[in-house]
Structure 1
Amino acid sequence: MVGRRQFDERRTLDLARDIFWFKGYGATSVQDIANASGVLRGSLYNAYQDKETLFLQVFEEYSRDFLADATRVLAHPSVDRALRELFDFLITSMTTGEPARGCLTTKTAIDTRADGERIRAALRNLLDELERLVQDRLSADEVRPRLAMPPADAARVLVTMTRGIVVMERVYQDPKRLRETAESLINAVLPPA
C-alpha cells in the first residue's frame, strides 16, 4: 500500500538507535541499519530520505525518553538526592553494554561527520531542555539559599559536567570514579546543609 511502511518501523528505529549509539553517527551507514533490521536500504531511503533524517527521527524519540527520565529523577523531594539520582541515571546509561555505549548526545556532538545544522539544533534542544529542568529544580525557594551560585549558572555547570563525565568514562571506564566526581560537583554547587 502506498504511504504505508512495509516494515516494522518501531523495531527498525530501535535498532537504528542502538547502532547510532554504539558506532556513532559518522561510522553508521544506512546499509548497517538495513543489515541489522532486514529492511532493504531502498525502503529505508523511501521512508526517511537520508541518514540524517533517519537519525533525527531516532534522536527525537531518544530525547523524549531521556528528558522524561531526567524529569522523573529530578522530582525527588530532596534536591541533593535528585541531583545524585540524575548523575546516577546518566552514568548507568552511558556504562550500559559491552563495550559501554557511552552517550548518544555527546558522541554525536563530537562527531565531525554530524555537523549538519539540523543535528546541532536537535542536540541544543535536548541540552537546553535538560538545563531548564535542572534550573527549575534549583529555583525552588528552599533550595536557593544553599546554592553557591544563581540557579541558571548552577544548572549550566551541572549540565556541562554531564558531558564531561561522558568523556571521562571513555578514558577511565570506572563508574565509581564518575560518581565520586559528580558528588564533588554537587557539593560544590550545593554545599551540604
Structure 2
Amino acid sequence: MSGRKQFDVGAALDQAMRVFWQRGYAEASLDALGSATGLGRGSLYGAFGSKDTLFRQCLDRYASIYGAQYEQALTAHSGDPVRAVEAFFDVVLSRIADPSVPVGCLIAQSAAQSPTLKEENSTHVRGLLDRQRQRVRTALADSSADTRTLDELAAFVVAVNQSLAVLSRAGASDAELRSVARLASATVADTLARAASADVAQG
C-alpha cells in the first residue's frame, strides 16, 4: 500500500532506546541509531522528525515499560508503604540484573547529562523523575506521617533509585546494590515508625 511504513515503529524505538541507554544522548550518533534500527538517516528523520524527537519518544517508551512495573509494585501493597517501597526496589534491582538490557537506567543517565541536553529534553527528563516521585509519594500516603516527611521520603527513594543505576554502571555488585536498597527501605520504615509514635504521643 502506498505510503505504508515498511518497518515496525515499536521495534525501531526499542533499538534506538538501547543506543541512548548504552551511550547517552551525546554519543548516540545518527549512524549508531541507523545501524541499530536498520533505518537510513532519511528514514529516521521521516519516521521520527529529529534526533531530539526520537530521544524523547525513547524516554517515554522506557518510562512506559518500567513505569508500569513500578506502578504495579507500589500499588500491590495497599496500606503497607514500607513493603511497597521494598517491592519498588525489587523491580529496580531486577532491571539492573537483567542481562538482556543495558546496565543502569536511561532516565538516570539522561538526568546526569541534563546540562548538555536541549532545554526541552532536560525538562522532559525532569518530568519523568517527578512522575516517579509522585508514584512513590502516593504509595507512602497510607502512613500517619506529615506531608513534609512523606514528600522528603519520596524524594529520598527516587534519589536512591537513581544512585543504584549509577552504581551499577560503575560496576557495583548485586550484593552491594541490594545492601543499599535494604538500608534505604529500613530508613523509610524507621522514619514512618517515628512519625507513628509521635502521632500516638500527641494523641
TM over 0.5: yes
Q: Alpha carbons of 1:99 and 1:6: their partners in 2 closer, same or farther (altered >3 Å)?
A: closer
Q: Distance in 1 between matches of 2:98 and 2:21?
A: 11
* Structure (1 or 2) with the larger CA radius of gyration: 2
Residue aligning to 2:200: none
Scaled by the length of structure 1, what TM-score is found? 0.86
Partner residue in 2 for 1:28: 28
Task: Render the CA deviation track for 1:21-63: whole Å, top value 9, x for unaligned.
Answer: 1222211112212112222221111222221111111111211
Partner amino acid, structure 2, of 1:28: A
Match of 2:113 in 1: 111
Name the SS of the counterpart of 2:158 in structure 1.
helix
Q: How many residues align?
A: 188
State whether structure 2 residue 183 is matched by structure 1 residue 157. no
Conservation of the 8 A alpha-carbon contact between 2:134 and 2:154: yes
Corresponding residue for residue 136 of structure 2: 134
Aligned position for 2:86: 84
Cα distance in structure 2, aligned partners of 1:80 and 1:116: 37
Once the two structures are superposed, the pairs formed by residues 49-88 of structure 1 within 5 Å of their partners are 49-77=49-77, 78-88=80-90
Aligned 8 A contact 2:21 2:102 in 1: no
Q: 2:103 maps to which residue? A: 101
Cα drift, residue 131 of structure 1: 0.8
Normalized against structure 2, the TM-score is what? 0.83
Shift of 1:144: 2.4
Equivalent in the alignment of 1:12: 12
What residue is the counterpart of 2:185 in the other structure? 186
Q: Sequence identity of aligned pairs in percent?
A: 28
Letter in 2 for 1:126: L
Superposed displacement of residue 128, structure 1: 0.7
Q: Which runs of 4+ in 1 moved over 6 A?
A: none
> What residue in structure 1 maps to residue 199 of structure 2?
none
Q: Is the 8 A contact 2:115 2:122 kept in 1?
A: no
Task: Measure, in 2, the Cα distance between the counterparts of 1:44 and 1:96.
Answer: 29
Q: Residue 43 of structure 2 aligns to a residue in which SS?
A: helix
Q: What is the alpha-carbon root mean square deviation over aligned residues?
A: 2.3
Change (3 A) 1:6 1:114: farther
**Structure-2 change in CA distance of 1:55 and 1:164 (3 Å):** same
SS of 2:170's equivalent? helix
Deviation at 1:15, TM superposition (A): 0.8
Amino acid at match of 1:183: R
Which structure dedicates a bigger proportion of its chain to helix?
A: 2
CA distance in structure 1 between the partners assigned to 2:177 and 2:151 by the alignment: 23
